[in-house]
Structure 1
């Protein structure tokens, strides 16, 4: 339990870096940041596979590679595609609030679906944890709620954005549950090799993404990428390449590795709630980048999130 908690914490610290990338590179479209991240992930996985995981990767069967491809397609590309499209349609506040429900949604789904394998967390004892996390997320996203209430946008665009954000939640609810299924069914396999395998199957998808972006940029400028953008690396190529390499290594490969380690050790209903570490890390990095202290409502939200996690860790699964 302790090592699983520490690995989930490390994964959250790594994943939080992704949320400050748009702030650090404000002139780069979300599609460019997404494709750049996963292209770096795949390129970094190649030497790691040769140096560290060659033997373990040879043991993977065709069905395992197919599972890695599905996980990468849904948990990486489809998730970020839906999220970025939701933000484009409805702006940031509404998708942010919907995505913020992930820890609660994953915990509820996993507690029902995996009750035989992982044990059942009694709903009466789980409910306070979920309520604390939900209240914490509401406090953390208070500014987004205020903006959402103040904006009077096109109802159709808001509805489309909401549906896309819900699709993103579905993608990343499916991913950790299916990923944990494979890891728990193959407890003798290396979580590091499984992270590397997902990086390897991500590479061809990222290359296809680069080609599609190039075609869209040439045929329909200002659709996903501004017409005045210096394709492919922009006006800050060193910053873009360096940040994508750092995120590809830390957030994608190392974050996936740590999450895999946590998924092998913890019930999925508990590890799902620990995704709040990603929210906490993203907040810390964002306020550090802006060099200012978070407002009282955000600090209250952080305290509620931590209280929810501590409460969840005290619950012992009941075998059914």
Structure 2
């Protein structure tokens, strides 16, 4: 339990970095940032795949199809929507909406009706799950109240652009509700497989998708007469450096740590630990702003941490004994 929680914490710290890139590369299209990040992830996975080729050879055709699905939805589509949401609505609103993931994933995991999954993972009784969800939800609400108050004070906000950013963030939430549950299902169904190998497999599956996306985006921008300097934009050193850093740290290492956590923790509990990503993203945002958080923001963070600690006290109830005294 505690080892799984530690891996989830490290994954959250690494994934929080992805909220920084769209702000540092505000003039870069979100689509270019998405395919650029995962092209870097795929290229990094190539030498790692060669070193791990014996274990990768054990994966079946069905495993590679699953890795491709996870790469397309949990990687490319998710980050495309998130980067576009941050660029259109600023950092606070997407962080707020993505911050609901711990609650959404935990509830979605507990509502699943598959007998096989319930027998394997058990379920967290609602009475035990509710306090941690309430604490996390309260913390998210307090943090977001401060951010939304600041946004309302800005008379120059484009409401249409703001609303489209919110809609894109909701699509990102849908993608990343599906991804960790599906990913955890595969890992817990294959306890003999290495989480590192599975992270590398997802990187290799991402590579052709990202490469095709990069080529199509370049062709579209050329055909549409865009003056954007393809292939690496007006600041190629910054763009390439950020894509490589995020591809290695957030994509491969973050996925590896999350796989380690997912193999040790039931999805309903692991889902709540994505709150670490929200906390990291908020911390990085305040560092970029160069300002200290408001007292209500700190109170919200305290509620978030309390919710996580409460969640760690919960244990899944086996399906055969669920509901018995």
Q: TM-score, normalised by structure 2?
A: 0.89
1:1-320 to 2 correspondence within 5 Å? 1-51=1-51, 53-86=52-85, 94-113=93-112, 114-146=117-149, 149=152, 162-220=166-224, 227-320=226-319
Is residue 187–residue 193 contact of structure 2 (8 Å, CA) maintained in 1?
yes
Q: Is the 8 A contact 1:93 1:147 kept in 2?
A: no
Task: Name the SS of the counterpart of 1:141 in structure 2.
Answer: helix
- In 1, the alpha carbon distance for the partners of 2:21 and 2:87 equals 17
CA distance in 2, matches of 1:319, 1:95: 36
* Separation of aligned partners in 2, 1:95 and 1:18: 12
Distance 1:96 1:291, change over 3 A: closer
The 1:158–1:20 alpha-carbon spacing in structure 2 relative to 1, beyond 3 Å, is closer
- 1:256-315: per-residue Cα shift (whole Å, max 9, x none)? 000000000001000000001111111222223333322212211111110000000011
Contact 2:85 2:169 (C-alpha < 8 Å) held by counterparts = yes
Q: CA deviation at 1:234?
A: 1.9
- Superposed displacement of residue 147, structure 1: 5.3
CA contact (8 A) 2:9 2:276 kept: yes
Residues 17-62 of structure 1, C-alpha deviations (whole Å, 9 max, x = no match): 11111233333222222111101000000001112x1110000000
Q: CA deviation at 1:90?
A: 6.2
Shift of 1:88: 6.5
The Cα shift of 1:144 comes to: 3.6
More off after superposition, 62-71 vs 284-293? 284-293
- Consecutive unaligned residues of structure 2, counting only runs of 5 or more, are 320-325
> 2: CA distance between counterparts of 1:124 and 1:258?
29
Distance 1:142 1:31 in 2: 30
Task: Give the RMSD, CA atoms, in angstroms.
Answer: 2.2
1:211 Cα shift?
1.2
CA distance in 1 between counterparts of 2:47 and 2:66 reads: 22
Query: How has the CA–CA distance of structure 1 residues 30 and 11 changed in structure 2, closer, same or farther, with 3 Å as cutoff?
Result: same
How high is the TM-score relative to the length of structure 1?
A: 0.90
Indicate conservation of the 8 Å contact 2:8/2:258, yes or no: yes
Count of residue pairs brought into register by the alignment = 313
The secondary structure found in structure 1 opposite 2:20 is helix
